[in-house]
Chain A
Amino acid sequence: ETGVTQSPTHLIKTRGQQVTLRCSSQSGHNTVSWYQQALGQGPQFIFQYYREEENGRGNFPPRFSGLQFPNYSSELNVNALELDDSALYLCASSWGTGGNSPHHFGNGTRLTVT
């Protein structure tokens, strides 16, 4: 069974640039959720993708967008990067969209915006 993998592991970008983060879901899982974890905080829900459609969104601006592909892998895109976007970005896959479905997290992408 292949777990959730995220790439890249670390990334440094400049304010105003755009970034794409990638996530491969665990085999058998059809739902991907993205979270932002700032230093010293718990993960904050960004959005969830199910059947290639956005299925719920947290309190994040439209410059945060995503995609899900037919193989259930997913991308998180952030435009016009701001310094406050520096965080650990976590992807979690699950079977089904409910919060009660066990979420399996990847090890995250550490994004630094300078």
Chain B
Amino acid sequence: TQLLEQSPQFLSIQEGENLTVYCNSSSVFSSLQWYRQEPGEGPVLLVTVVTGGEVKKLKRLTFQFGDARKDSSLHITAAQPGDTGLYLCAGVGNDYKLSFGAGTTVTVRA
């Protein structure tokens, strides 16, 4: 059972389009991390958000942490084929350990 629910499960878009991936939970997290995982590789950390309401930008990627620190979103502007991968959110709970969502598989078609 995943503590964090990610939606949608799958997303397929054309190059140049925008997309948003959501990560929701009923639990409060001290921080939340986003990772991207490509086939045959381990997850790679993209960003950590700590403060409720925080917005972080990483080139074409925008990450937002909900005010109540229970949810987060990842928005990609003008997606490129290189953005293809499994996007995972992970929350840091009271035990200071990471709890991952099931992930969103993003496919960007050229």
Measuring CB to CB, which residues of chain A are less than 8 angstroms from any residue of chain B? 4, 33, 35, 40-45, 48, 56, 58, 90, 92, 97-100, 102-108
Contact = CB atoms under 8 A, between A and B. Distances in A.
B31 interface: yes
Contact of B2 (A42, A48, A104): A42
* Range, interface on chain B: 20 to 34
A43 B88 contact: yes
B27 to A, nearest CB: 13
B100 A107 contact: no
Contacts of B48: 100, 102
Listed from nearest, the 6 A-B pairs whose CB atoms lie closest are A105-B42, A99-B92, A42-B100, A98-B96, A99-B98, A43-B100
Contacts of A41: 2, 102-103
Nearest to A4: B42
A109 to B, nearest CB: 11
A48 B98 CA distance: 11
Contacts of B99: 45
B42 to A, nearest CB: 3
A67 B42 CA distance: 21
A42 B88 contact: yes
Nearest to A106: B42
17 contacts: A4-B42, A33-B97, A42-B101, A42-B103, A43-B43, A45-B99, A56-B95, A56-B96, A92-B42, A98-B96, A99-B31, A100-B30, A100-B92, A100-B96, A103-B45, A105-B43, A108-B41
